[in-house]
Structure 1
Amino acid sequence: MVRVPARARAGKLDSASVRPRRDRALLPRIRRRDAPTLRLTPPARAANERGTPDTSNCQNPTVQTAWEAHAHEWLQWARTPGHDVAYEAFIDSFFDAIVPARGRRTLELGCGEGRVARELAARGHAVTGCDLSTTLIRAAHESGNEAYVQCDAGRLPFADESFDIAVAYNSLMDVDDLPGTINEVGRVLLPQSPLCICVTHPVADAGTFTEHSARAAFVITGAYLGRRPFELAVERGGLTMTFSGWAHSLENYARALEDAGFLIERVREPAFPDAFVAKDGSAARWQRIPNFLWLRVLKQRSAESIQYP
C-alpha cells in the first residue's frame, strides 16, 4: 500500500515492486572529468572534530541543521535498496525530462549523502555537491570521487559564474531562506545556464487523501498559500526518518525565481508510474495528484534584463 505524505518520500510499496537500484559494486569507479580549477571564495569550512555541523557559515541555522540531527536515520533510509520508493520511481525520468547533458561543471545543492551527485557523475557531469550537514558530507566523501563542500546553501563559497548547470533535487524545501538561496544559485551560474529543480508538489504538500482507494478524495487540510513549516516522522520497514522543512505555494517558488532573474523553460508534474500501480493498486490515487513539481529555469544576466511582452 502506498503512502506518499508531504515529503513524497514515504510511499508504502512492497520492495518487490521497486526497480532495483544499480549495484555500485558492479559499476566502474567514477573519476571526475578534467575541468577548470574551482575557485572557493571564501574557503569552504571543514567539519569540526565532534562531527557536529559548522554553522558559522550558516546565516539561519534552523531547518538545515535539523537534517544533521537525523543524518544517521537518513543514511539508512536513503541507502537501503527498495526503501525510498519515491526516489527510485522518479529519479531516471527526472533526469530525462529536466537535466540537460553534461556541461563544464555542475553544482548539486543540498546533496546530502551524495546519491544524486553520484548519478550526475555516472552520466558524465563534473559535479560539486554542497550540504550543511557534516555527517552527510562525510558519508558522501566516503562513497565516491565527486567533490563535496560543507556550506550553507544561502551563502555559497564559490566565485561568481562558476557553474553552467545547477541541480536542486528535493532540497529547496529544506532551506530557511528560499529567495536568498535562489539568488545565490543565480550568482554562481553562468548566464543562460539552467537550474534544475525537484520539489514536493505544493498541492501534495498541502493536503492528504481521505482513504487508500483509487478514487479517494484529496483534501486540503491546512493552508496552501505562503510558507508553512512541517515536521513529519515516518516509520516503514523497521526504519524511521524525521523530515523537517518548509512547504511553499507555487507562487512562492515562482516569485523567488522571478526576483532572482530566472525564466521558466520547462514544467513537469509527474504522476506515479504505471509500473507501480500495476503491482499495487493503492498507488492509483497518486496518478490523480502529482507527487512532485519539476522545473528547469534559465538564469538571465539580471532580473532587470528579463523582457516581458
Structure 2
Amino acid sequence: MTEKALTTAGQDWEEQARNWIAWVREPGFDSYWRYRDAFFALVPPAGRATLDLGCGEGRVSRDLVERGHRVTGIDASPTLLEAARQAHPEGRYLPADSADLPFPDRSFDLVIAYNVLMDVDDLPGTVGEIGRMLEPGGRLCLSITHPITNTGSVRDGLFVLDRPYFGRHRFEAEVERDGMRMKFHGWNHPLSAYTTALEDSGLLVEALREPQVGDDTFPWHMWIRAVRPR
C-alpha cells in the first residue's frame, strides 16, 4: 500500500498516540469500559467480514474477535496501529484514510465506527466509503459523542449552551486525571449532519440510542445502527 500523508485528524491522533494507549489500557479508566456491553448488544452477530474503522490501539477489534468476528482494523496513526498489532499479532491492521478506503465495493457485512466519526476531517466522504464497503443487508454500528456534548457545559447540574448547536465547529479539550493527560480534537456536528451523510450513502437508520449507564443524567454518547437495503 502506498504511504500517504496523514490527514489533520491522523496527525492529531499520532501526536497523542502514546497518551491514548496509556489512557485506554488502564482498566476501567476510560468510559468505554462502562458502555461496552450495552454497545455490543446493538451489534449484530459475527458474519462474513467486519471492518473496525478507526481501530486505534485495537480495543474494539479485540473485543469483536472475542465475539467471533473476522476483523480488519484500519487507522491513520502508525503508532496506534503498531500497538494494535503488538496486542493482537494474529490480527489484520492496515493504515488507511477513512475517506479513501483500500477495499473493493461490498467487502464487509459489518462496519464498526466506535467514537470515530466526530474526529474525521471528511464526515460525508467517510460515511460514503462505509456505504460503498457494505454489502446489501450489511450494517454500520457507530458510536459518537452526543452531538450536543461539545456545544456547552454542565453548571449546577444543568447543561448550558456555550456556542451554536448548528454548524460545523472545531473542538479541542485537554483532560488530566490521575496523572494521565489526553488532548482530544475533533468536529462538532448537529445530528442532522450524521443522518444526512447516512441518507446520501444509501443507509437507513434502524436503531438509535442515547445510552444511560449507571448514574448518567446527561447523554454523553449516541449510538446508531444503519443498514444497506437489499
Q: TM-score, normalised by structure 1?
A: 0.72
> Superposition pairs for residues 24-43 of structure 1, below 5 Å?
none
CA–CA separation in structure 2 for the residues paired with 1:146 and 1:166? 16
Q: Helix, strand or coil for the counterpart of 1:76?
A: helix
Match status 1:104 vs 2:30:
no
Post-superposition Cα deviations, 1:241-280, rounded to whole Å, max 9, x if no partner, equal: 000111110011011111111100001111132xxx3xxx
Match of 1:185 among 83, 108, 130: 130
Q: Between Structure 1 and Structure 2, which shows a larger proportion of strand residues? A: 2
Runs of 4+ with deviation above 4 angstroms: none
Instruction: State whether residues 201 and 292 of structure 1, in contact with CA within 8 Å, keep that contact through their aligned partners in structure 2.
Output: yes
Letter aligned with residue 52 of structure 2: E
1:202 corresponds to which residue? 147
* Structure 2 unpaired stretches of 5+: none
Query: What root-mean-square deviation, in Å, do the aligned CA atoms of Structure 1 and Structure 2 show?
Result: 1.2
Q: Helix, strand or coil for the counterpart of 2:107?
A: coil
CA–CA separation in structure 2 for the residues paired with 1:290 and 1:146? 33
Instruction: State whether residues 64 and 174 of structure 1, in contact with CA within 8 Å, keep that contact through their aligned partners in structure 2.
Output: no
Match status 1:248 vs 2:189:
yes
1:116 corresponds to which residue? 60
Instruction: State whether residues 179 and 256 of structure 1, in contact with CA within 8 Å, keep that contact through their aligned partners in structure 2.
Output: yes
Match of 1:173 among 88, 105, 118: 118
> Superposition pairs for residues 1-80 of structure 1, below 5 Å?
44-45=1-2, 54-56=3-5, 61-80=7-26
Q: Helix, strand or coil for the counterpart of 2:192?
A: helix
Letter aligned with residue 116 of structure 1: V
CA–CA separation in structure 2 for the residues paired with 1:146 and 1:247? 32
Per the TM alignment, residue 55 of structure 1 is displaced from its structure 2 partner at its CA by 3.4
Instruction: State whether residues 272 and 290 of structure 1, in contact with CA within 8 Å, keep that contact through their aligned partners in structure 2.
Output: no
Identical-residue share of aligned pairs (%): 47
Per the TM alignment, residue 63 of structure 1 is displaced from its structure 2 partner at its CA by 2.1
Give the total of aligned pairs: 229
Larger radius of gyration between Structure 1 and Structure 2: 1
* Structure 1 unpaired stretches of 5+: 1-43, 46-53, 278-285, 302-309
CA–CA separation in structure 1 for the residues paired with 2:149 and 2:212? 11
Instruction: State whether residues 77 and 239 of structure 1, in contact with CA within 8 Å, keep that contact through their aligned partners in structure 2.
Output: yes
Q: Helix, strand or coil for the counterpart of 1:174?
A: coil
